[in-house]
């Protein structure tokens, strides 16, 4: 009997564990280790953050699903990986610490034949002083954060209803933060809610971002085909911002937040501030802090993980100038180069370099987005890694024939505002590939036949449909595997 351990029940990890359970017979054990008792459909946290959905609409308990599918669920945090075992246990194992009631604080050594790290990121609020729900800003990164954001947003809306002006600042809260798309979508939804209440004359909404140009989204921007014309995501994004009455500050790295004041540095080295009454800023991401030790107990974390805490995989991490990178540098199997039975997928893998051009301010501060690895790409990675592991288990020999390079992978993004079948609008954008390939597509870096953008109500309907479709899939209800990632 083989044991496969998956760390993290997000989009990538949950996809991996469901595919493993489907592909492997009952004689093999599939183990999920996650500190979260609930699965959450993260894209819909935006609706929670504006009060259009309750947290219970974007989550469901994991334990019943895993029990029904025959997955051994351990509500715990992975602490240390022992890929060679130790002096007492010869098999590889991961040491975990339980967080569920009744077992809280207990530790266990979980042996594995294959390990998939899909832990996602640590929300590194601490990297920016005063950032986050424990500081002076809100977040929509979790359903709990989003519910708190709605509480704070209501306070500002109530003040506006009484005639008080309010200043809203939304964007990225660290000089190298990613997930600009989520912040952008939230900014549009806040503007939509204010407009719906006919209070825009009392609002000042500002978008603050580390992007060199709006519409970068951590992908170096894109050129999209719309209505037969080719336009940049810069123009596409700026026009939407202007339509919603949102001002913007770009090329800015937030350094510190105090009550009502954001301190930031721009690429020209200027230190500036902006005042706010309500602010939602996305934090920087880091690895969750898993360690690794060899069989003698020596720390080998630096051999498995990059300095940011994400697991190194089959990528080319050789230092290069930005102009010298290639899509060939990007991983395709997400297998550890040191231990062939360890994989990482979703945000848990370490990117080889940025997709957006890296910039430093005149003071030497890096200010640019790090690569996005969320949503659709995360699901595809989780499935591909699981297929490789399942076939390896069944054949008795490690196989990595299934591949999913972000340089050969497309992605779709729907930035929706409003809620309901008649009340809403969305900007729908697809890109192919996610990492631009200037060797194959020298003019644009991407295939314009599949890189398109279109605003309208239809995209909004699609996002609503996707909410229910992907929660249905995540619950592993009849026909779930027919729904694509």
- Count how many domains the chain has: 1
Q: Which CATH number goes with the domain that contains 104?
A: 3.50.50.100
Helix (H), strand (E) at residue 310: none
3-state DSSP helix/strand/coil percent for the chain, to nearest 5? 30, 25, 45
For β-strands 166-172 and 278-282, DSSP reports them as: parallel
Structural domain includes residue 408: no
Structural domain includes residue 482: no
Per-residue buried b or exposed e for 240-249, using 16+ beta carbons within 10 Å of the residue's own CB: bbeebebebb
Report how far residue 294's alpha carbon sits from residue 85's, in angstroms, rounded to the nearest whole number. 7
When computed from its CA atoms, the radius of gyration of the chain, rounded to whole angstroms, is: 22
Report how far residue 122's alpha carbon sits from residue 424's, in angstroms, rounded to the nearest whole number. 32
Structure confidence at residue 416 (pLDDT):
73
Query: What is the residue-level pLDDT of the chain in tens, covering all 485 positions?
Result: 899 999 999 999 999 999 999 999 889 999 999 999 999 999 999 999 999 999 999 999 999 999 999 999 999 999 999 999 999 999 999 999 999 989 999 999 999 999 999 999 999 999 999 999 999 999 999 999 999 999 999 999 999 999 999 999 999 999 999 989 899 999 999 999 999 999 999 999 999 999 999 999 999 988 877 777 788 889 989 988 999 999 999 999 999 999 999 999 999 999 999 999 999 999 999 999 999 999 999 999 999 999 999 999 999 999 999 999 999 999 999 999 999 999 999 999 999 999 999 999 999 999 999 998 888 889 999 999 999 999 999 999 999 999 999 999 888 777 777 666 566 666 677 888 999 999 999 888 898 888 776 666 666 677 888 899 999 999 999 999 999 88
Structural domain includes residue 479: no
Structural domain includes residue 351: yes
Strand order from edge to edge, sheet including 252-258? 252-258, 261-266, 271-275
Q: Which residue has the tokens 């993004």?
A: 413
| Report field, pTM of the whole predicted structure over 0.85 | yes
Structural domain includes residue 247: no
Helix (H), strand (E) at residue 236: helix 233-243
Task: Report residue 302 as tokens.
Answer: 């630096």
Structure confidence at residue 229 (pLDDT):
78
Cβ-based neighbours of 276, under 8 Å, separated by 6 or more: 167, 168, 169, 206, 260, 261, 262
Structure confidence at residue 376 (pLDDT):
84
List the domain range (segments joined by +) for residue 336: 3-123+285-395
Structural domain includes residue 19: yes
Structure confidence at residue 29 (pLDDT):
98
Q: Which residue has the tokens 């991407």?
A: 446
What's the half-sphere exposure (Cβ side, CA atoms, 13 Å) at 260? 3
Q: Which residue has the tokens 């609706």?
A: 47
Q: Are 314 and 87 in contact (CB under 8 A)?
A: no
Helix (H), strand (E) at residue 69: helix 62-69
Structural domain includes residue 11: yes
The DSSP call for residue 142 is S
């Amino acid at each position: 009997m083989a044991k496969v351990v998956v760390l993290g029940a997000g989009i990538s990890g949950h996809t991996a564990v469901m595919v493993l359970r489907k592909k492997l017979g009952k004689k093999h054990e599939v183990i999920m280790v996650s500190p979260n008792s609930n699965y959450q459909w993260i894209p819909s946290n935006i609706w929670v953050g504006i009060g259009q959905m309750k947290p219970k609409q974007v989550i469901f308990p994991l334990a019943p699903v895993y029990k029904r599918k025959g997955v051994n669920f351990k509500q715990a945090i992975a602490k240390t990986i022992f890929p060679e075992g130790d002096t007492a246990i010869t098999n590889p194992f991961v040491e975990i610490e339980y967080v569920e009631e009744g077992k809280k604080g207990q530790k266990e050594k979980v042996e594995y034949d294959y390990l998939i790290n899909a832990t996602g990121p640590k929300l590194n609020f601490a990297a920016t002083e005063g950032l986050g729900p424990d500081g002076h800003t809100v977040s929509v990164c979790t359903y709990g954060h989003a519910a708190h954001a709605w509480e704070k947003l209501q306070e500002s809306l109530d003040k506006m209803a009484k005639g008080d002006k309010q200043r809203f600042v939304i964007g990225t809260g660290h000089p190298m933060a990613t997930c600009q798309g989520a912040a952008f979508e939230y900014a549009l939804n806040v503007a939509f809610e204010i407009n719906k209440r006919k209070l825009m004359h009392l609002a000042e909404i500002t978008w603050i971002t580390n992007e060199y140009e709006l519409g970068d989204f951590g992908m170096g921007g894109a050129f999209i085909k719309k209505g037969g014309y080719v336009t940049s995501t810069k123009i596409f994004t700026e026009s939407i911002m202007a339509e919603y009455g949102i001002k913007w500050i770009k090329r800015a790295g937030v350094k510190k937040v105090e009550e009502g004041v954001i301190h930031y540095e721009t690429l020209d080295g200027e230190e500036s501030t902006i005042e706010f009454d309500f602010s939602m800023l996305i934090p920087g991401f880091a690895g969750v802090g898993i360690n690794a030790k060899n069989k003698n107990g020596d720390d080998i974390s630096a051999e498995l993980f990059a300095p940011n805490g994400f697991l190194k995989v089959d990528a080319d991490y050789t230092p290069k100038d930005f102009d010298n990178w290639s899509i060939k540098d990007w991983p395709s199997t997400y297998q550890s180069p040191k231990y062939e039975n360890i994989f990482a997928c979703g945000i848990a893998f370490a990117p080889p370099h940025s997709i957006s051009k890296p910039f430093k301010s005149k003071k030497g501060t890096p200010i640019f987005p790090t690569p996005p690895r969320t949503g659709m790409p995360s699901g595809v990675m989780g499935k591909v890694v699981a297929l490789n592991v399942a076939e390896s288990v069944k054949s008795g020999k490690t196989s990595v024939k299934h591949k999913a390079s972000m340089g050969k992978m497309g992605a779709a993004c729907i930035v929706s505002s409003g809620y309901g079948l008649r009340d809403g609008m969305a900007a729908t954008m697809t890109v192919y590939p996610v990492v631009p390939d200037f060797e194959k597509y020298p003019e644009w870096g991407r295939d314009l036949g599949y890189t398109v953008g279109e605003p309208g109500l239809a995209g909004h309907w699609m996002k609503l449909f996707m909410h229910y479709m992907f929660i249905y899939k995540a619950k592993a209800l009849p026909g779930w595997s027919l729904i694509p990632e």
